[in-house]
Amino acid sequence: INSGLDGGMALVSTQTAPAGTSSIAFTSGLGDYDEIVFYFTNIQHSSDDKILSFQVSTDGGSSYGVAITSTNFYASHAWSWSNTAQVSYDASRDLANSTSYQLLTQSSDNGGTITGSNASGELHMFGCASTTYAKQWYARVGNIFYIESVIDNFTGGFINSASAINAINFKPDSNTFKGTIAMYGIS
């Protein structure tokens, strides 16, 4: 993989969560690159109607709860009950200088009506090492809604802290999940 930037992309870490995992944290390497990219592959929740989320830390992962401001919209196509397509702004995913976990998907299935359904996508974070500026980020994650709808989620915002971001935690909004998250750095 080459980003087209001088340093290209370097794999920093990969974590594969077995079924029953409550969260995945990355606690090193975030400040070593200008841009960090997380790739989510086959994230599957332990029960229906769960949502992948993240929050960051400035204290090495001792606590997660840095203020985030964000917005979200999504495109969807439901084929089983209405055969409709739409693009929607979702204010319920917005954070306004909140220390809550940021939601990255709409409700995801655990494979009930669609065998092997999951969420996959990416999160880009910029300038995690900065002790001067807020940190910009954006995510695009696709998932299958349990009643047979595909959803393409677009979320973006900034982390409102002049402290360096040195840890990030991913988890479902409740219950557990499984899947792989890989972290790449771009110089």
* All residues at 6 or more sequence positions from 92 whose CB lies less than 8 Å from its CB, including other chains: none
Both structure tokens of 55: 């929050």
Which residue(s) pair with 81 in the sheet?
none
- Rounded CA separation 23/115 (Å): 23
8 A C-beta contact, residue 54 and residue 160: no
pLDDT of residue 159: 98
How many CB atoms lie under 10 A from the CB of residue 116? Answer: 9
Q: What's 101's DSSP letter?
A: P
pLDDT of residue 52: 86
How many CB atoms lie under 10 A from the CB of residue 119? Answer: 27
pLDDT of residue 137: 98
Q: What's 118's DSSP letter?
A: -
Q: Which pTM was predicted?
A: 0.88
8 A C-beta contact, residue 120 and residue 58: no
pLDDT of residue 93: 86
What is the pLDDT tens value at each position of the chain, 187 positions in all?
Answer: 444 455 689 999 999 999 889 999 999 999 999 999 999 998 887 665 678 899 999 999 999 999 999 999 988 887 666 677 888 898 888 999 999 999 998 765 555 555 556 789 999 999 999 999 999 999 999 887 755 678 899 999 999 999 999 999 999 887 888 899 999 999 8
pLDDT of residue 1: 43
pLDDT of residue 126: 98
How many CB atoms lie under 10 A from the CB of residue 56? Answer: 25
